[in-house]
Amino acid sequence: MGKSAFLKESKVDGVTFIIRDADEKDLPAVTDLHAYNTGQHKPDYWEETYHRYGDSNEGFFYVCEIDGEFAGFIIGEVRAWEFGSEPCGWVYTIGVNPEMRLKQVGTRLFETVCEQFRKAGVGQVRTMLHRKDNLNLSFFRSQGMMGGPFIELEMPLD
């Protein structure tokens, strides 16, 4: 049995925002936006991601439309992270159409996924970004996020 359909509509200054579950028909727009933002065109990756988060109960995959036009997306999940962390909400990725970045699309998507995390019973939200990703660092900080208690470590394997 699939999850219940999600739909949230609001109107601000005559602009209609709709945040809803992503659908397979949204994948070309998601793929193109991600390619624009990162330079990486990965349709197979987004197809797999949709099946993991969009048409299952594993997480939240929402899109935002403004007056019927695709404006952005967010993916999140609740997980009990490694190293003894309590279950928390994780924002897996967010993308906003550059032409709509100053219209509160990211904020509305982030607030919506945080509402779902609260309903799932968690009291903390996390994400991970590249330290040079100033656009998203600024966005998440503007939402009240700050450095957390974990440090990511890595090393090359070759």
Interval 79-107: pLDDT, tens: 886 777 889 999 999 999 999 988 899 99
Distance CA 128, CA 85 (A): 15
DSSP helix, strand, coil percent of the chain (3-state; round to 5)? 35, 30, 40
Fold (topology level) of 7-142 = Aminopeptidase (3.40.630)
Domain ranges (residues) in the chain: 7-142
Q: Which tokens go with 140?
A: 């998440």
| Low-confidence residues of the chain: pLDDT under 50 | 1
- Cα four-point dihedral sign 124, 129, 132, 134: negative
| pLDDT at res. 81 | 67
Q: Which tokens go with 38?
A: 């990162």
Contact (Cβ atoms closer than 8 angstroms) between residue 96 and residue 55: no
| pLDDT at res. 1 | 41
pTM here is 0.91
Contact (Cβ atoms closer than 8 angstroms) between residue 95 and residue 76: no
Contact (Cβ atoms closer than 8 angstroms) between residue 131 and residue 27: no
- Residue 149's SS3 state is coil
